[in-house]
């Protein structure tokens, strides 16, 4: 009897997971990955809901609480206007609770790489691996991105890597227009502060969000656009490319990605 009961539960759960219901969403996020006793190979893991790159470790607790309180009533644009460095902005994004995705995420994922880089790469949103580690593009798509960069003699230290969203959408679902619009000021402020010469918009979500155009990535990719964030800064050259996750699913599209990477290499050589 109890075996039959267990089998039924197992089958029901399997059916739910296969249908995509693989997240348990609660009002407050619970980090079930964190154990009381650190696991032996865990020295690199960040504590739950800590921003990547340890940018917040230098802020004392009262600063953090003050930030959290005020950031809950400020809009992203107002928050951005108070941040003049990537460190400040990353802490502010972590403290921001206006995007409900933070409730189901383990970590806030802001950036990786070099805030002084000439090349900025903007993806879509953290996936499962990124949510666990607190760093963007560390899963399979990230590994392909690393190989794509190596093909034009670059590595992560030559780029600043971020996303449109800073919390993983449950089950990796497509971000909603509201979530994208809510988070957009944060990526625009990153562009202003990093001030790169060239931007890669990786995938349709990133390209559509920052180019404000309705076309899909197949039409947008491979062309140069200009992104203006403020009157004070010169516009940035931006190219839309297929997302590395798409290239993993559709390897035949790597030919176009290769052409786009050559464009990036040429543009980097002629821009300061």
**What does the binding site for ligand URA look like in residue numbers (CB under 6 A)?**
123-127, 130, 136-137, 139, 141-142, 163, 245
Would you say 75 or 157 has its CB closer to ligand URA?
157
Would you say 113 or 127 has its CB closer to ligand URA?
127
- Give me the least distance between CB of 138 and ligand URA, in Å please: 7
- Give me the least distance between CB of 242 and ligand URA, in Å please: 12
* Dihedral sign from CA coordinates of 205, 207, 212, 214: negative
- 8 A C-beta contact, residue 110 and residue 125: no
Question: Both tokens of residue 251?
Answer: 């390897």
- 8 A C-beta contact, residue 126 and residue 165: yes
Would you say 177 or 228 has its CB closer to ligand URA?
177
Q: Is 256 exposed, middle or buried (0-12, 13-18, 19+ CB in 10 A)?
A: middle
DSSP-based three-state secondary structure for 189: helix
Q: Is 131 left (phi over 0), alpha (psi -120 to 50) or beta?
A: alpha
C-alpha–C-alpha distance, residues 102 and 167, integer Å:
6
Would you say 134 or 196 has its CB closer to ligand URA?
134
- Give me the least distance between CB of 60 and ligand URA, in Å please: 29
Would you say 67 or 124 has its CB closer to ligand URA?
124
- Give me the least distance between CB of 86 and ligand URA, in Å please: 16
- Give me the least distance between CB of 217 and ligand URA, in Å please: 12
Residue facing ligand URA at closest CB distance: 123
Place of tokens 């403290």: 95
């Amino acid at each position: 009897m109890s075996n039959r009961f267990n089998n039924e539960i197992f089958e029901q759960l399997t059916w739910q997971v296969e249908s995509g219901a693989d997240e348990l969403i609660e009002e407050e996020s619970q980090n079930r990955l964190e154990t009381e006793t650190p696991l032996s190979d865990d020295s690199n893991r960040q504590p739950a809901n800590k921003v990547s790159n340890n940018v917040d470790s230098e802020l004392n607790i009262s600063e953090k609480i003050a930030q959290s309180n005020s950031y809950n009533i400020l809009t992203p644009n107002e928050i951005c206007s108070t941040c003049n460095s990537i460190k400040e902005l990353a802490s502010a994004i972590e403290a921001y609770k206006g995007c409900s995705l933070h409730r189901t995420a383990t970590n806030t994922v802001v950036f990786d790489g070099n805030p002084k880089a000439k090349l900025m790469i903007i993806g879509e949103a953290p996936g499962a691996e990124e949510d666990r580690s607190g760093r963007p593009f560390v899963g399979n798509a990230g590994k392909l991105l690393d190989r794509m960069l190596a093909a034009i003699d670059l590595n992560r230290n030559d780029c600043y890597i971020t996303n449109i969203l800073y919390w993983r959408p449950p089950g990796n679902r497509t971000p909603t227009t509201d979530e994208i619009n809510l988070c957009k000021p944060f990526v625009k402020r990153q562009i202003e502060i990093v001030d790169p010469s060239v931007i890669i918009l990786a995938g349709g979500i990133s390209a559509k969000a920052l180019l404000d155009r309705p076309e899909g990535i197949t039409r947008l990719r491979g062309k140069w656009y200009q992104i203006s964030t403020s009157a004070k800064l010169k516009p940035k050259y931006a190219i839309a490319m297929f997302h590395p996750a798409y290239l993993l699913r559709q390897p035949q599209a790597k030919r176009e990605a290769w052409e786009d990477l050559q464009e990036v290499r040429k543009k980097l050589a002629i821009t300061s």
